[in-house]
Amino acid sequence: MNEVFRALGDPTRREILTLLKRRDMTAGELAERFPLAKSTLSGHFNVLRHSGLIVSERHGTTIVYSLNLSAFEEALSAVMDLLHAGRPRPERKR
Amino acid sequence: MNEVFRALGDPTRREILTLLKRRDMTAGELAERFPLAKSTLSGHFNVLRHSGLIVSERHGTTIVYSLNLSAFEEALSAVMDLLHAGRPRPERKR
DNA sequence: ATCTTATTTCGGTGTTTGGCGAACTAGCGA
DNA sequence: TCGCTAGTTCGCCAAACACCGAAATAAGAT
């Protein structure tokens, strides 16, 4: 969860996510949308992947990135926890 | 909104928020809960205040911090935007 | 095998961030 | 006024971060 928030902390990464919410995209397609070096974008992909917010799948020479919805669910309920004061969430043992 | 995400990116700041969701607290009370210098915490308060997530009110010599719920609503719907709006949109013809 | 395309990893740099202690400000009471 | 307490601001440092170009990897095509 810590990783998720850190990942969401960068504007470029959030924009990557909003692009991916429309459709899956390859690393190259995504990189085209930004005025940054491909290597820089690749770094962002790594952060997002480690946070669990996106997943990657190799197709031949290209790598397709897509959103991992369940990671978003977690982020969502984390913010909700912060919101709904005094109501400790059950679940999640240990 | 950008500021909000940046503010949420730091674990210490998120912990400050979870403390404040239980009750309003003074800067000193909050600082006691962390193994950090007061000046460091003061910096975190500033970030949170500028992001709009908390508000401060002076009471004599102490400063009371409290959550600003509406900023959370915004953060919440921002994550929701990332989650819902868009993905499998079969887009009805017209 | 070699070439080409797609992408990542590596080494480096400049900037931002979180941390500290010391110095400063604000308000209160003697 | 002076002194005390609560907080903040200031100057500094080290670690983390975003960014780049160059080199490395991966896989299909020739």
A80 touches strand D (CB under 7 A): no
Sheet of A62-67: strand order equals: A25-26, A62-67, A54-59
Half-sphere exposure of A32 (CA within 13 A, CB side): 5
Confidence class for position A83, pLDDT limits 50, 70, 90 = low
Q: Which nucleotide is nearest to B59 (CA to C1')?
A: C27
Q: Which residue is closest to B82 within chain A, CA to CA?
A: A18
Distance, CA of A36 to C1' of C13, in Å? 16
Q: Which of A6, A69, A79 sits opposite B75 (nearest CB)?
A: A79
Q: Is the pLDDT of residue A17 over 90?
A: yes
The residues spanned by each domain of chain A are 2-83
Q: Residues A72, B82: contact at Cβ < 8 Å?
A: yes
Q: Give residue-wise pLDDT tens across range A42-60.
A: 999 999 999 999 999 999 9
Of A68-77, B13-22, B37-46, B85-94, where does mean pLDDT reach its minimum? B85-94
B4 or B90: which leads in pLDDT: B4
Partners of B64 in the β-ladder: B26, B57
Report the CATH fold assignment for B2-83: Arc Repressor Mutant, subunit A (1.10.10)
Inspect the interface and report whether the beta carbons of A9 and B11 lie closer than 8 Å.
no
